Amino acid sequence: MITGNIITDFSLLILFLPLVAFTVNIFFGKRLPRQGDWVSIGAILITLILSLSMLLNMFMNWDPDFSHEAKFIWMDLGAFKIELGFWVDNITIVMLVVVSLISSMTHIFSLEYMKGDIRYSRYYAYLGLFTFSMNGIVLANNLISLYIFWELVGVSSYLLIAHWFEKPSAAAAGKKAFLTNRVGDIGFFIGIMLMFTAIGSFNIQEVFTGVSQGLIGGSLLTLAGVGLFMGAVGKSSQFPLHIWLPDAMEGPTPVSALMHAATMVAAGVYLTVRLFPLFSPDALLVIAYVGGFTALFAASIAITQNDIKKVLAYSTVSQLGYMILAVGVGNYIAAFFHLLTHAMFKACLFYGSGSVIHAMHHSLHELDDHDTDPQDMRNMGGFKSKMPITYLTMTIATLAISGVPFFSGFLSKDAILAGSLGFAQHYPQHFLLPVFGFGAAAITAFYMFRLIFMTFHGEAKMPKVFKGIHESPRVMTFPLMLLSGLSIFIFYTLPYLNPLSDHGWFTELIRAGDSVVPGNPTAHEIGEGVHHAHYTAMALSLLVAGLGIGLSYLMYLKKKLSAEVWANKMGLLYKLSYNKYYFDENYDRFLYQPLLKLSRAVAYVDWDLYDKYFINGFGRVTKWLSFLTGRIDYDGLDQSIVDGIGRATQGFGKQLKQVQTGRLQNYMLFALVGVIIILVIQTI
Amino acid sequence: MTVDMLIDWFATLGDFPVLAFILAVVISGIPLFLVMALNAMVAVYVERKVSAFMMDRLGPMGQGPGLHAGKWGLLQTVADAIKLLVKEDTVPESSDKILFKMAPFIIFIGAFLGLAAVPFSQTLQVVDFNVGVFYIIAVGSIGVIGIVMAGWASNNKWSLYGAMRSAAQIISYEIPAGLSIIVPVMMAGTLNLQELIHYQSGTVWGILPNWIIFNNPFSFIAFFIFFISAIAETNRTPFDIPEAESELVAGWMTEYSGFRWAIFFLSEYANMLIVSGLAVAGFLGGWRSPIPGLFDSGAWGLFWFMGKIASLIFVMMWVRWTFPRLRVDQLMHVCWKVFIPIAMINIFGVGIWKLIFG
Amino acid sequence: MAKYFANIYDTVNTLWKGMRITWRHMINIKRDNVTLQYPEERWPRPERNIGFEHADYNVIRSRLHVDIDDCIGCLKCERACPVDCIKIDTIKSPNRGEDIPEIKHTGTTSNDTRKALVVSRFTIDMSECCYCNLCAYPCPEECIFMVGGPNNAKHDIDYEFSEFNRNDLIYQFAKSITKEQKESLQPPKPKVEA
Amino acid sequence: MAEFTFWIVVGITLGSAFMVVQSKNLVYSAYALLFSFIGVTGLYVFLWADFIAVVQVVVYVGGILILIIFGIMLTNKITSVNISHASVQKKVGAVAVLGMAFLLGYMVISTPWVTLANVEPAETTAAIGRLLMMDYLLPFEVASLLLLGALIGATTLSRKED
Amino acid sequence: MDSLTNYLFVSVVLFALGLYGVITRRNGVAVLMGVELILNSANINFLAFARFGGMNMAGHVFALFVIVLAAAEAAVALAIIINIFNNFHTINVDDVSELKQ
């Protein structure tokens, strides 16, 4: 059995191996054979093996209360200490497996997808940096190191999104992602600092203890909770900071799969799951509403998008909203469960879309067509026959995300919906939350099947391009197959095989903890509510999923209902959705432009007034003074004293150089005689 | 060991410390010399036989009981020795006489001193040094001085070239040899040869004897590096460029004949014995029996030790008669670019191995 | 780097191959041995000749042989020998042409020449012989000759006569005579009158 | 016995050291240096420093002396056996050195040395290793750096420019 | 032999001889040999103090450092000497008086 120390060692290795790969690749990558991709892949595979061994250890222990903490003092300033360390429990282990699995899949997938890229080695280096920082978030045992890695994740996401920075849109998307995240991070930092000033520690478990002792409470706790949640809003791209994620699709597709589907955006959810016990009821309510609204809202945008990756991006936002909703209603284990399952099938969907785009791209390249958008679904259709593996795996993932039984998504989504329904049953005034959830579920099923039908079914929209489409190579289909396999329910319900119940190792090993805020419902109460609403929720979710799928089937496969007609009927709504509710435009008009104007005014004061008169005035005075002292120095001092000494020295030197015979041993003899003389004087 | 024991024994007999010391040294030194002589004679005979067999010849058959063919020429080396001893002792006219005469003895002293620390059995060891492993390597370098002396004093370009080559080669190969012998030293945590052998008791994996060579993969590699370096240090083919007959006549030995040449030969074979002894003590369990626990005491120790040494010396001969001579650049390439890096990795690996499993 | 290790692997592999070959030869020495322990073992003489009859091959010079029964002790060969490898001692025969059975002396040669001398010593040092054949020509009885070739009828060819001792190369042809027998053959010394 | 051996060793050491500085033949100097080193090794053994003694043999005899001999052979026309080398300022040097020696000797005599009754350590190697890895770790590392520097420096200096 | 001053005297004499060699020899290699003698005398001192004084194992460590130093010095010095030989075709140190004014 793996003991505590070895867990610490493993965690260290898991954390630092990707960093090593990053360091090697960033400095020597170009000079290594194969541009050093094997370094990164080797490191990430070792990480994966270590994570899997920890998972195995978890199964063999079967201890829901397993918790291991290792820490050391990083900064000791007397009364003020900063400790760094690991907090490993079952959630951490599962999350580590998710991160390393998706990350290694991305590494492997990128082998083919990024082949021939001009910054190939740098791409792999950044992947390593990202994995390092993501693992850091997962393993962190205190808020400050969490924050450090949080920012590192931001940096690496910036680097990866803007990987093709020759494209202005990619560079802009990177910047946007970075800056939008910054807004959330300010809230996050405020939250951390509020906690620290009240409790005096960054350590998460000590913070929990402090909250339960009532060191912080009331509106301050709510404020701190909302602040911490702000971080999650930024990173998990919740409303209103969701705007960066769709743009981030400018990055390479494997990156999207890794960061914008499975890991980085899940960091926000992971944060709320980790910190769940300290959210006050009001904060939780805010979380629930933000999450629920985001779920529905993003889903409604996804319906009308035509870019295959944009659809998936909005779908991700929506699913993250789900998770946040689940945290908000207290069913945070369901949120984490959905995080896990979502990571698998969403990564699979992204890889699938990557595979499709890759194929399109190659085909267009061969036709020498650089104008057609390879990501536009309107140019696809009928790929089923040409790309059977991609089609099959993507279909499985779509079934999973739509919440069809026998697939993982059903289990987790069901749990979330049951949670929200239970919450609404308990607090009827919040009936909107389940409505958000079920609405989003229906829409999700609809647009996901829309994607599948538009891409793989029907006849080819561009026959010329269609001719060149071919299945992707093995290294690209392997992650697809693996991840779609992992989207089947059985991996989450072992050792039980009931496809309709999420009862399994996950629910047995990862138990909800009680909230430490006095007055919050306990885990047991929440569980009761969920259990109560379970069957209703299941029935409802099956119904809405079927509804969505059926509608999509009629509209896009059978063409019984015309999409255009419906769009026209909806009119304003369609337009709003198609243009993403004009969010970017509104931000631009009401936030950026006024800010820019203000900045220009400030700049005018700084440059034209302050610099010109004050600073330059100083400069002139100084120049005049220097001239004066220069005259005194050169003409007075130098000629008489400095040069005088020089001349005297020269004269002496001429005398003394007679002694320099150039014979080493003469010098030695002189030295020896000197020593003897000193010794004699000393003795006397 | 023996010297100390003898001095103690003499102390019980009476108070004559100076005489006791001299007696003890002489008493333990004479057998050592006999071992050297015997070793050279047997080894020369075996070498001739092995080389002949490997070349599908029969080797010396004439000299021996009955003085006739079919008697395996057992007395061949005796005859050789007699021939060498009665030969004229020639000293070249233009040589540096003093150094020329002194050089063989310096080489001989190096070999003799090294032999003093070889643990022939639990008790049969002339001196049991605390730093035995290191000592043997150290006195090995005295021989180099003798070789350079011989080469220079002969005042002959072949001799000088041979000597310079030999010095460069021996000094270079001392490094991988030293680095590899550190592996058993690290495993056992001692430089004392007896303790090193005591460390190698018991079994590993239940079957194999717990010799350091079987202990872990790094020491397995280290043994081969050490052994090959040892071959190079004894200037034997395929590393015999210092005395390469076809280029340098006989290297630094060109001008020597008769008795002095015999001393060279004696030392050379003694050196083989010493390096094999070090390899046996360091890697192959010293005087321990190959079947753990069986025949592992008393005189069996001597038997096993000599048996292992004999097999190693046989392998040296086998190698000699199999491979052609290396070029100088190949020799240095092998030493500096292959053996030394691998030996360093070995040391690192053994350290980690000891941390994890030790 | 990969090349470096491939190189090492190659080296080890080929070393092992080479050593296996020599090992096989060593343990199979009985089968593979090419050495002939010469004086004891010899190559068999080839059955067939080298293209013409031995009898015609008169240049052959392998070893001197003396048919001592025909020798009359004339010392012509001894004188002819340029390297003085032939040594002959003679004693006057008591009765010319008569056999002396106790020393196996025959009185007449095969040419019916009556011998006047008993050859008490006839040695040829083959280690000194230079195979010039000069001794064979003057011999009146044709009793000294090189074996083989045209003389094949008289004596088998013998070109291998290696010995462990150098003295063994001094071939004795005379019949052995003890000292007493020798003295008995000597004519009594004339008494010197005082 | 030990007394006797000690003075013999001292005699060898100093006698060969005198040969080193006095001999006309450079090669004889070098070989006299060998005996001087071996004598010093003997002194080390008397001082209970077996490890240092062995190190002395390895480094001085096996390394430095060979280097010196190589140096001689590379910098002289070795066709003649007698590589003579002259001395300069002998008399002044001798006087100065004698003065130095007398002063130092006077110092040795006049200083009241405190002698502690030490016992012979059982294991010097382990103790040295422990000291090197703990108390003197920094000097040890510096020494290794120095060796590396010397290695690279010597190589760079003596290689042929191409 | 069991007295500190004996060793110190030996060391003094060795030091003086080494110094004499350094000062008087014309050949660079011979100068180097003198330096080696001086270093050896220092080592004798260290070990003598280690045995008789309170220096203990620290003396051994210092001796070890001195030996390391000597090895490095010999290597570099010989490289320099060979370089000098290549440039001036002599290693007599007083022929190489480039330092002269």
Alpha-carbon gap, residue A70 to A322, rounded angstroms: 33
Q: Which of E:9-38 have CB within 8 Å of D?
A: 9-10, 12-21, 23-30, 32-34, 36-37
D125 and D83 in a common domain: no
Which pLDDT score, from 0 to 100, does residue A401 have?
A: 87
CB contact under 8 A, B318 and C19: yes
Nearest to B141 among D1, D28, D57 (CB): D57
pLDDT at B65: 61
Q: Do E33 and D63 touch (CB under 8 A)?
A: no
The mean pLDDT value for A193-210 works out to: 85
Q: Report the gap between the CA of D45 and the closest CA in chain A (Å).
A: 32
With a cut of 80, say whether residue A369 has pLDDT above it.
Answer: no
CB within 8 Å: B69 and C40: yes
Average pLDDT for D95-114:
84
Domain end residue (candidates: D41, D71, D87): D87
Confidence of residue E101 (pLDDT cuts 50, 70, 90): very low
Task: Tell me whether strands C144-146 and C86-92 are parallel, antiparallel or unpaired.
Answer: unpaired
**Amino acid at position B256, single letter:** Y
> To the nearest whole angstrom, how far is the Cα of B70 from the nearest Cα of chain C?
8
Give the domain ranges of chain A.
167-578, 585-675
Kindly report the nearest CA distance between residue E24 and chain A, in angstroms.
7
Question: Which pLDDT belongs to residue B2?
Answer: 66
**pLDDT tens digits for range B12-40:** 777 777 777 777 778 878 888 888 888 88
Task: Tell me the percentage of chain B whose pLDDT exceeds 90.
Answer: 1
> Are residues A668 and E101, on separate chains, in Cβ contact within 8 Å?
no
What value does the mean pLDDT take over residues A213-224? 83
Nearest CA in chain E to D8: E1
Give the nearest chain D residue to A681 (CA atoms). D103
d(CA A670, nearest CA chain E) in Å: 10
Q: Regarding the domain delimited by C54-185, which CATH topology (the fold level of the hierarchy) does it fall under?
A: Alpha-Beta Plaits (3.30.70)
Q: Chain A contacts of D89, Cβ < 8 Å?
A: 665-666, 669
Q: Are residues D79 and D129 in the same domain?
A: no
Q: Is D58 on the interface with B (CB under 8 A)?
A: yes
The model's pLDDT over A4-43, given as tens digits with 9 standing for 90+, comes to 677 888 888 888 888 888 988 888 878 887 788 888 888 9
- Per-residue pLDDT, A479: 85
**What whole-number distance in Å separates Cα of residue A462 and Cα of residue A457?**
13
Mean pLDDT of C68-91: 86
Counting the structural domains of chain D, the total is 2
Q: Cβ of D93 under 8 Å from any chain A Cβ?
A: yes
Nearest residue to E94 via CA among D66, D97, D93: D93
CB E44 within 8 A of CB E10: yes
Structural tokens at position A120: 């190939």
- Asked if A131 and A264 count as a contact pair (C-beta separation under 8 A), the reply is no
What is the DSSP code (8-state) at residue D114? -
| A678 or C39, greater pLDDT | A678
Query: In this predicted structure, which of B241-255, C13-27, D21-35 has the lowest mean pLDDT?
Result: B241-255
A661 vs D contacts (CB less than 8 Å): none
CB contact under 8 Å between C21 and B322, yes or no, is yes
Chain A interface includes D74 (CB < 8 A): no
CA C1/CA B134 separation, integer angstroms: 33
String of DSSP letters for B109-137: HHHHHHHHT---SSS--S---TTHHHHHH
- Average pLDDT estimate for E51-79: 85
Least CB–CB distance from A657: residue in E97, E98, E101: E101
- How far apart CA A126 and CA A26 sit, in angstroms, is 8
- Rounded to a whole number, what is the distance in Å from the CA of A674 to chain E's nearest CA? 14
A-chain CB neighbours of D100 within 8 Å are 672, 675-676, 679
CB C40 to CB B57 under 8 A? no
User: Is the predicted pLDDT of residue C1 greater than 80, yes or no?
Assistant: no
Put simply, the answer to whether E93 touches A672 (Cβ < 8 Å) is no
- The predicted pLDDT at position C60 comes to 64
Is residue D19 within 8 angstroms of chain B, CB to CB?
no
Within a domain: D112: no
The mean pLDDT of A167-179, rounded to a whole number, is: 87
The number of C-beta contacts closer than 8 angstroms across A and D is 23
Residue D37 near chain E (CB below 8 Å): yes
CA angle A180, A184, A190 (to 5 degrees): 145
Nearest CB to D143; choose among E30, E36, E65? E65
Q: How far is A674 from chain D (nearest CA, A)?
A: 10
Task: Identify the domain containing residue D18 by its residue range.
Answer: 2-87
The residue range of the domain holding E25 is 4-88
Return the pLDDT at A1.
41
CB proximity D57 to B under 8 Å: yes
Provide the pLDDT confidence category of residue C50 given band limits of 50, 70 and 90. low
Cα A413 to Cα A80: distance, rounded to the nearest angstrom: 44
Rounded to the nearest angstrom, the minimum Cα separation between A676 and chain D is: 6
- Which residues 91-130 in chain C show a CB within 8 A of chain B? none
Residue A431 confidence (pLDDT): 84
Locus of tokens 């779920």:
A295
From E26, which residue of chain A is nearest by alpha-carbon distance?
A665
User: B223 and B285 in contact (C-beta within 8 Å)?
Assistant: no
Report D:108-137 residues touching B (Cβ under 8 A).
123-125
D57 vs B144: CB contact, 8 Å cut-off? no
Position B13 scores a pLDDT of 74
- Residue, of D99 and C49, whose pLDDT is higher: D99
B54 contacts C25? CB cut-off 8 A: yes
Interchain pair B70, C29: CB under 8 A = no
Q: How many CB pairs under 8 A join D and E?
A: 232
**How do residues A478-489 score in pLDDT, each as one tens digit?**
888 888 888 888
B145 close to D61: Cβ distance less than 8 angstroms: yes
pLDDT confidence tier of residue A623, bands split at 50, 70 and 90: very high
Smallest CA–CA distance, residue E97 to chain D, in Å, is 14
* CB A261 within 8 Å of CB A316: yes
- Interface partners of B (3+ CB pairs, < 8 Å)? C, D
Q: What percent of chain C has pLDDT over 90?
A: 2
CB contact under 8 A, E23 and A661: no
Q: What is the DSSP letter of A70?
A: E
Look at residue A626 in the predicted model and tell me its pLDDT.
92
- AA identity, residue B59: G
Give pLDDT tens digits for C99-135: 777 777 777 888 888 888 888 888 888 888 888 888 8
Higher pLDDT, C97 or A187: A187
Please tell me which chains touch C, using 3 or more CB pairs under 8 Å as the contact test: B
3 state SS of E84: helix
Contact between E30 and D128 using a beta-carbon 8 Å cutoff:
no
DSSP string, B300-338: HHHHHHHHHHHHHHHHHHHHHTTSPPPPHHHHHHIIIII
Residue C58 has pLDDT above 60, yes or no: no
Q: What is the CATH number of the domain that holds E57?
A: 1.10.287.3510
Please answer yes or no on whether D157 and E83 come within 8 Å at the CB atom: yes
Which pLDDT does position A622 carry in this prediction? 92
How much is the pLDDT for B29? Answer: 81
At D90, list the tokens: 């002998």
Question: Cβ B95–D81 below 8 Å, yes or no?
Answer: yes
> Is A385's pLDDT higher than 60?
yes
**Domain assignments of chain B as residue spans, ordered by start:** 88-357
Cross-chain residue pair E97–A662, CB shorter than 8 Å = yes
Say whether pLDDT at A316 is over 80. Answer: yes
More confident of the two residues C183 and A250? A250
3-state secondary structure of C120: strand
Lowest mean pLDDT among B172-176, D23-27, D86-90, E74-78: D86-90
Cross-chain residue pair D100–A676, CB shorter than 8 Å: yes
| Averaged confidence pLDDT in chain D | 81
Q: Which of E18, E23, E74 sits opposite D89 (nearest CB)?
A: E23
Question: Is residue A190 predicted with pLDDT exceeding 70?
Answer: yes
This model of the complex carries an ipTM of 0.62
Instruction: State whether E51 and D48 contact (CB < 8 Å).
Output: yes
Q: Which of A294-298, B180-184, C157-161 has the lowest mean pLDDT?
A: C157-161
pLDDT (tens digit, 9 = 90+) per residue, A135-166? Answer: 888 888 888 888 989 999 888 888 888 888 88
What total of structural domains would you count in chain E? 1
| Residue E99 domain-assigned (yes or no) | no
CB contact under 8 A, A661 and E97: yes
- The strand pair at C170-172 and C117-125 is best described as antiparallel
Q: Best mutation site among A663, A664, A670, A672 for testing chain D: the one with the most D CBs within 10 Å?
A: A672
- Please tell me the predicted confidence (pLDDT) of residue A625: 92
Q: Residue A665: closest CA among chain E residues belongs to which residue?
A: E23
C abuts B (3+ Cβ pairs < 8 Å): yes
Q: How far apart are CA B252 and CA B242, in angstroms?
A: 8
CATH of the domain at D67: 1.20.120.1200
Q: Do B145 and D66 touch (CB under 8 A)?
A: yes
**Distance of alpha carbon C32 from alpha carbon C55, whole angstroms:** 38
- B contacts of C22 (beta carbons < 8 Å): 54, 318, 321-322
What angle, 0 to 180 degrees and rounded to 10, lies between the N-to-C axes of helices A168-199 and A218-235?
160
Identify the CA nearest to A189 among candidates A138, A162, A154: A154
